[in-house]
Amino acid sequence: MKRVFSGVQPSGTLTIGNYLGAIKQFVRLQETHECFYCVVDLHALTVPQDPERLGRQTLQVAAMMVASGLDPDKMTLFVQSHVRAHAELSWLLQCMTYYGELGRMTQFKDKARRQKHATVSAALFTYPVLQAADILLYDTHLVPVGEDQRQHLELTRDIAERFNNRYGETFVVPEVYIPRTGGRIMSLDNASTKMSKSNPNPGSYIALLDEPDVIREKIGRAKTDSGREVRYDPEEKPEISNLLTIYSLCSGRSIEDIEAEYEGRGYKDFKGGLAEAVIATLRPVQEAYHELMESGAIREILDRGADRAREIAETTLDRVKDRMGLVPRL
Ligand code: AQP
């Protein structure tokens, strides 16, 4: 079986963007691939985090992933900081990554712009290398991610190829896997920025744990154009097109079918139907999540996952250190 790796940051409650863009694919791939999924807590530290909250969110995000359909008997789920090889390989790979390459990463530029220049952490600049380490440790063939991660995946491939050229075949060069629709769900308040769990405006996203009334309210307030035609046209009608994408992915219906249903009915009815489709999608996830959190089962799932991940990661790390000329202990 080919290997899959992907990570999710515990930087807030997952959004429907994370769910449709990434986690739905994770669930599908566990049937056909050997999958490693990781709650990347070290990545979340690149911007200031409250320690107590970070710990809580790490368990919550893991539980949300399992509640979304990840099966502990079919895939490996673990916390990044439980496997030390991630941080160690990251250092080794930083020695082969160019300053200029990291400076071109748009995620860094976007996140750095939101902070005062002098307080931007060095880790925010170098974390794409940690991401490369995460992926390369598991001899990963396929990385399912949202569109926003495409550039980081290209960097991972460049680093792997550079290493293989310099030291001989060591890493599998991974392929990126981005869904045809849903790879970039946009904010509800601004269709030119992607939906993000760390957006300070909660009205900009639907969180996986939002109550039905909150979902109805957020969708009711979602920005639209001033027309009333429910039509998919990302250029002319980016807001309605984004809502149609969410509707289609949640209901399993085609966009044309939804357009036909709301022809001549305006945005209010359309938003009402969309809200119910989202609520129906999230209801089973929310129920499973609350059960998992109450039973405490998530800690055990993560513990078993870390043991399994550690075994593979340490073998890869030893191989890399050997290739680079680091002397092993007796
Ligand atoms: N809006 C989105 N549409 C589709 N996919 C998305 N992803 C994120 N936002 C969207 C995908 O979800 C996976 C997990 O993302 P992450 O938690 O590792 O970090 P991120 O990409 O930075 O996501 P956020 O929600 O925007 O987090 P913050 O606000 O903390 O930066 C990834 O595969 C991502 O592509």
**In a shared domain, residues 213 and 317:** no
pLDDT of residue 109: 87
* Range 148-152 average pLDDT: 95
Burial degree of 275 (CB within 10 A; 0-12, 13-18, 19+): buried
Ligand 1 in contact with 193 (CB < 6 A)? no
pLDDT band of residue 134 (cuts 50, 70, 90) is: very high
pLDDT of residue 118: 74
Ligand 1 in contact with 198 (CB < 6 A)? yes
* Range 189-216 average pLDDT: 96
Ligand 1: distance of its center to the CA of 329 in Å?
40
Per DSSP (E only), the strands in the chain are 3-8, 34-39, 75-79, 142-144, 175-177
Q: For residue 38, list its beta bridge partners.
A: 7, 78
Rounded Cα distance, 154 and 120, in Å = 24
Sign of CA dihedral 82, 137, 97, 323: positive
Ligand 1: distance of its center to the CA of 295 in Å?
28
Q: What CATH number does the domain containing 9 carry?
A: 3.40.50.620
Ligand 1 in contact with 146 (CB < 6 A)? yes
Q: Is the pLDDT of residue 154 over 80?
A: yes
Q: Taking a C-beta distance cutoff of 8 angstroms, is the pair 40, 164 a contact?
A: no
Q: Which residues are catalytic?
A: 111, 194, 197
The residue type of 55 is G
Residue 189 maps to a domain = no
Ligand 1: distance of its center to the CA of 198 in Å?
9
Q: Is the pLDDT of residue 68 over 90?
A: yes
Residue 26 maps to a domain = yes
First to last CA, the chain: 35
* Candidate from 92-96, 114-118, 175-179, 295-299 with smallest mean pLDDT: 114-118
**In a shared domain, residues 68 and 102:** yes
Ligand 1: distance of its center to the CA of 16 in Å?
10
Q: Is the pLDDT of residue 171 over 80?
A: yes
pLDDT of residue 112: 84
* Range 292-301 average pLDDT: 93
Q: Is 39 helix (H, G, I), strand (E, B) or coil?
A: strand
**In a shared domain, residues 151 and 224:** no
* Residue from 41, 68, 196, 245 to probe ligand 1 pocket by mutation (most atoms less than 8 Å from CB): 196
Ligand 1: distance of its center to the CA of 64 in Å?
14
Ligand 1: distance of its center to the CA of 53 in Å?
19
Task: Please name which of 175, 178, 123 lies closest in space to residue 148, comparing C-alpha atoms.
Answer: 178
Which atom of ligand 1 lies nearest, measured to the CA of 147? 35
**In a shared domain, residues 153 and 217:** no
Look up the domain containing 276 and give its range.
Answer: 202-289
Residue 150 maps to a domain = yes
pLDDT of residue 256: 97
**In a shared domain, residues 255 and 305:** no
pLDDT band of residue 115 (cuts 50, 70, 90) is: confident
pLDDT band of residue 326 (cuts 50, 70, 90) is: very high
Ligand 1 in contact with 61 (CB < 6 A)? no
Residue 157 maps to a domain = yes
The fraction of the chain above a pLDDT of 70, given in percent, is 100
Q: Is the pLDDT of residue 184 over 90?
A: yes
* Range 72-78 average pLDDT: 98
Neighbour order of strands in the sheet with 142-144: 75-79, 34-39, 3-8, 142-144, 175-177
Ligand 1 in contact with 317 (CB < 6 A)? no
pLDDT of residue 255: 97
Residue 89 maps to a domain = yes
Q: Taking a C-beta distance cutoff of 8 angstroms, is the pair 166, 36 a contact?
A: no
pLDDT tens digit sequence for 25-60: 999 999 999 999 999 999 999 999 999 999 999 999
At a CB cut-off of 8 Å and minimum separation 6, what does 160 contact? 132, 136, 171, 172, 173, 174
The residue type of 126 is T
Ligand 1: distance of its center to the CA of 55 in Å?
19
pLDDT of residue 107: 87
Which atom of ligand 1 lies nearest, measured to the CA of 198? 29
**In a shared domain, residues 148 and 43:** yes
Rounded Cα distance, 6 and 27, in Å = 12
Ligand 1 in contact with 197 (CB < 6 A)? yes
Q: Share the mean pLDDT of the chain.
A: 96
Ligand 1 in contact with 8 (CB < 6 A)? yes
Task: State pTM to two decimals.
Answer: 0.95
**In a shared domain, residues 68 and 151:** yes
Q: The tokens of 195 are what?
A: 């939906």
Residue 29 maps to a domain = yes
pLDDT tens digit sequence for 230-255: 999 999 999 999 999 999 999 999 99
Q: Is 162 helix (H, G, I), strand (E, B) or coil?
A: helix
Q: For residue 68, list its beta bridge partners.
A: none
Rounded Cα distance, 203 and 218, in Å = 6
Rounded Cα distance, 290 and 254, in Å = 31
**In a shared domain, residues 12 and 29:** yes
**In a shared domain, residues 85 and 225:** no
| More confident of the two residues 190 and 330 | 190
Q: Is the pLDDT of residue 116 over 80?
A: no
Give DSSP secondary structure letters for 127-156: HHHHHHHHHHTTT-SEEE--GGGHHHHHHH
Q: By alpha-carbon position, which residue is closest to atom 15 of ligand 1? A: 8
**In a shared domain, residues 228 and 90:** no
Q: By alpha-carbon position, which residue is closest to atom 19 of ligand 1? A: 9
Rounded Cα distance, 226 and 60, in Å = 39
Domains of the chain: total? 2
Residue 41 maps to a domain = yes
The residue type of 106 is T
Q: Angle 279-197-55 (CA atoms, 0-180°, nearest 5)?
A: 105
The fraction of the chain above a pLDDT of 90, given in percent, is 92
Ligand 1 in contact with 196 (CB < 6 A)? yes
Residue 98 maps to a domain = yes
Q: Is 109 helix (H, G, I), strand (E, B) or coil?
A: helix
Ligand 1 in contact with 11 (CB < 6 A)? yes
Phi, psi at residue 301, to the nearest 5°?
-60, -45
**In a shared domain, residues 41 and 133:** yes
Q: What CATH number does the domain containing 221 carry?
A: 1.10.240.10
pLDDT of residue 143: 98
Q: For residue 194, list its beta bridge partners.
A: 186
**In a shared domain, residues 217 and 285:** yes
pLDDT of residue 210: 98
